[in-house]
Amino acid sequence: MPPAPVVATECANAYVCPLDAAKLVALRHIVEGLRQESGGQKSALVFKPRRWRFHAERPTWKSDIRWISAADEQTFRGLFEPLFAKLGIASLFSFLGDMALFSGFFVTRGHTRKTHFHTDFGDTGSRCFTLMTPLYDMADLRDCHLLCQVPTDGEAAACAPAADAPAADVPAACPLADAPVACTVAAAAVAAAASVGARDVIRQYRYELGTAIAFGDGFVHGTETGEAPSQLAFLCFTFGDRRCTPEQWSAAEGYIKEQGPVYQDPTGRLVEGSSNKRARDGDAAKSIESKAASWAEEFGGLEEDDQYAYLQALAVKMNGMHLQFLRGMPNLAEEDDDLEEEYDDEDDEESEDDGEEAAGDDDE
């Protein structure tokens, strides 16, 4: 059994624990103060008072849910890392291992049209977890909470901690409630998707201000359908045992890297996430598209005799850009159009040649 105040739920690898509600309420002004970064993409947000930069990732679910994570090291080290420490997450879950922060972000949502059941982690040996806690009081909301699958005995065994991982007994009482009748269709859907037995049931976990739920391998869950009267916001961490094996970390990293621009590995090293790479590649693609249009316009305005020289200069430029992509450094901003200058240089050389030839003719 986990030490107080952490309580195990009837689902394997899922726990609840109290957190300092005042510290959570204090985070509201950050979420409410986020603004789109000037001149940036829609996914680029900033909290100007502290110059913290964020990236908003929105999955393709029938919901307006967004994961708002640190976009740079300053925000990760200045906000989420100290917050993880101040809330005492590592200490609370030390019975499961030597816990380290992997990523931190806010989750915001207002409505969910369809529950998307999924697991965050698998094959990590029960060493990696997601923690969710609300920033607002949700006691009056009948829906908009969290739905989770309570497995059969066979499935519970499959989701149990690995032999070398700390085990926790399940207490007689747990904070999960039977889901409303309206959720029976969703329950059937998750039962089919997860290929589990008919005896499996879906329970509603009700979010409470000052209480967090943490879950790991095999925890099937999804946001409950509903529409909140105002935007809801949550604090979320992914964390785990820094002594996990390379194979266990690889299994966890596959999920973590998709959520934001930066995250931390078990050694404390900051790593670039997939969203950062996608954004950079997207910017590069837009730059190339713009350049191509400009090149076509310039080419079309040239005399036929000049077009060949222009194409020669263009070939050199495109070869350099291709090498940048192969090296993973599409720094196209510095590769701005020097074509006209290069083309002009070639014109100057040709003019000098023509001049020399003309001078030779005069000498003759």
Query: Which token pair is 89?
Result: 């997450």
Strand runs labelled E in the chain: 7-8, 14-18, 35-36, 44-47, 52-57, 66-70, 99-112, 128-134, 146-150, 176-178, 201-205, 211-215, 221-223, 226-241, 262-264, 270-272
> 194: Cβ–Cβ under 8 A, 6 or more apart, which residues?
117, 149, 200, 220
pLDDT band at 288 (very low <50, low <70, confident <90, very high): low
Torsion of CA 314, 316, 322, 324, to 10 degrees: -120
CA atoms of 182 and 7, how far apart (whole Å): 28
- The model's pLDDT over 133-188, given as tens digits with 9 standing for 90+, comes to 999 999 999 999 999 998 665 444 333 333 444 444 433 334 666 544 333 334 43
pLDDT at 133: 99
Rounded CA-CA distance 90/81 in Å is 11
Using the predicted structure, report yes or no on whether residue 51 has a pLDDT greater than 80: yes
Q: In this predicted structure, what is the pLDDT of residue 2?
A: 86
pLDDT of 12 reads 82
The amino acid occupying position 279 is: A
CA dihedral (80, 81, 87, 90) in degrees, to 10, reads: 130
What average pLDDT does this structure show over 232-240?
99
pLDDT at 58 over 70: yes
Closest CA to 226 of 146, 149, 117: 146
Q: HSE of 361 in the Cβ direction (CA atoms, 13 Å)?
A: 6
How high is the pLDDT of residue 315? 76
For the cut 60, the answer to whether the pLDDT of residue 32 exceeds it is yes
Helical pair 304-326 and 339-363, crossing angle rounded to 10 deg: 140
Which neighbouring-strand residues pair with 215? 14, 130
pLDDT digits (tens, 9 = 90+) for 119-145: 999 999 999 999 999 999 999 999 999
What is the spatial distance between Cα 165 and Cα 121, in angstroms, rounded to a whole number?
15
pLDDT (mean) for 296-309: 72
Q: Which residues contact 89 (CB under 8 A, 6 or more apart)?
A: 99, 101, 131, 237, 239
Domains, the chain:
7-271 (2.60.120.620), 277-363 (no CATH)
pLDDT digits (tens, 9 = 90+) for 251-275: 999 999 988 899 999 999 999 986 5
**Can you say whether residue 82 is alpha, beta or left, with left for phi > 0 and alpha for psi between -120 and 50 degrees?**
alpha
Tokens, residue 247: 């194979």
pLDDT at position 280 is 45
In terms of pLDDT, which residue wins out, 175 or 204?
A: 204
CA distance 168 to 187: 27
Backbone angles phi, psi at 17, to 5 degrees: -155, 155
What average pLDDT does range 33-38 have in this prediction?
Answer: 91
Residue 337 has pLDDT above 60, yes or no: no
So what's the pLDDT on residue 312? Answer: 72
> For residues 260 and 30, what is the distance between their CA atoms, to the nearest angstrom?
18
Average pLDDT over residues 77-104: 98
Q: How far is CA 114 from the centre of its chain?
A: 21
Work out the angle between the directed axes of helices 304-326 and 274-300 (0-180°, nearest 10). 170
